[in-house]
Amino acid sequence: MRAYSERKYWVGFDLGGSKMLAVVYDGDFRQVARKRKRTRGHGGASEGLDRILALIDAALDAAGASREALAGIGLGCPGPLDLDKGVVLEMPNLGWKKVKVRAELERAFACPAVVVNDVDAGVYGEYRFGAAKGSRCVVGVFPGTGIGGGAVYKGEIIRGAKGSALEIGHVPVIRDGPLCGCGRRGCLEAVAGRLAISAAAAMAGYRGEAPALLQAAGTDLQNIRSRALADAIAAGDKAVEIIVREAAHTIGWAMAGVVDVLAPDTVLLGGGLVNDMPELFTAEIAAALKAQVMPSFADTFKVVPAKLGDDASVTGAAALAQRAVQEAAAAAS
Question: Partners of 143 in the beta sheet?
Answer: 147
Residues 6+ apart with CB under 8 A from 63: 9, 24, 32, 33
Q: What is the pLDDT of residue 332?
A: 87
138 vs 197: CA distance, rounded Å: 26
Q: What is the pLDDT of residue 1?
A: 44
141 vs 176: CA distance, rounded Å: 23
CA distances to 172, 193, 230 from 246, in Å: 17, 11, 14
- Beta strand residue intervals within the chain, DSSP E: 9-14, 19-25, 31-38, 70-77, 81-82, 87-91, 96-100, 113-117, 137-143, 147-153, 156-157, 266-269, 302-305
What element of type H or E holds 272? helix 272-276
Q: What is the pLDDT of residue 44?
A: 76
DSSP secondary structure, 234-251, as one string: HTT-HHHHHHHHHHHHHH
Q: What is the pLDDT of residue 290?
A: 96
Block means of pLDDT (10 residues each) for the chain, 333 residues, are: 67 87 94 90 79 96 94 93 94 83 96 96 97 97 92 96 93 95 94 97 98 97 96 98 98 97 97 95 98 96 94 96 92 84
Using an 8 Å Cβ cutoff, are 190 and 167 in contact? no
Using an 8 Å Cβ cutoff, are 79 and 95 in contact? no
94 vs 47: CA distance, rounded Å: 10
16 vs 36: CA distance, rounded Å: 12
Question: Partners of 73 in the beta sheet?
Answer: 11, 113
What is the 3-state composition of the chain as percent helix, strand, coil, each rounded to the nearest 5?
45, 25, 30
Using an 8 Å Cβ cutoff, are 213 and 237 in contact? yes
Q: Any alpha helices (H) in 110-237, and if so which ranges?
A: 118-129, 188-192, 194-206, 211-217, 226-234
Q: What is the pLDDT of residue 126?
A: 98
